Amino acid sequence: MGLIILDRDGVINQDSDNFIRSVEEFIPLPGSLEAIARLNQAGYIVTVATNQSGIGRGLFDLNTLNAMHDKLRKLLAAIGGQVEMIAFCPHNPDAGCDCRKPKPGMYLEIARRVGVSLQDVPVIGDSLRDLQAAQAVAARPILVRTGKGERSLAKSANELQGIPVYADLAAAVDALLSGDK
């Protein structure tokens, strides 16, 4: 079984510069849930690592975050999919924690809990910081254009050279499952 790590906002669900603050604002991107179910069917352990500084900023609380993740799990279960683990960083960007991407703390926690090496594990994100955290642990970074992906490409083209880029999670999963890197 292979491990895969996905960012949440902008990869699985719609993103907002004003944060996803409620269960109602948690809206899956077209094809993302089906892509996760296909990963499960192919034997992947699907995990999520997400910066959620809205908690530290007082924009929503842990109960609301848990309700969003419950919604995700229920929607996935209805189509035969699941996520094994959701790691999140609730801290503000200036907190200096080790879990907030681009630091690799959440990825290391996932590896510890799942019991696998992160060497060449696919990490799919929509921002440079997702991919920097992947590179820090020798995982395989993959960028999607959804969410902040287009903005990341425009702002960080040099840093993203050599990293595969796909239209969305479904396209990235298609490539993974067909053996493309």
Q: Report the alpha-carbon distance of residue 112 to residue 106 in Å, rounded.
A: 10
Strand 122-125 and strand 140-144: the pairing is: parallel
CA–CA dist 36, 16 (Å, integer): 22
What SS3 class is residue 29?
coil
* Burial degree of 39 (CB within 10 A; 0-12, 13-18, 19+): buried
In the residue annotation, 94 being an active-site residue is answered as no
- 7 catalytic? Reply is yes
Q: CB of 15 within 8 A of CB of 126?
A: yes
Among all residues, which ones are annotated catalytic? Answer: 7, 9
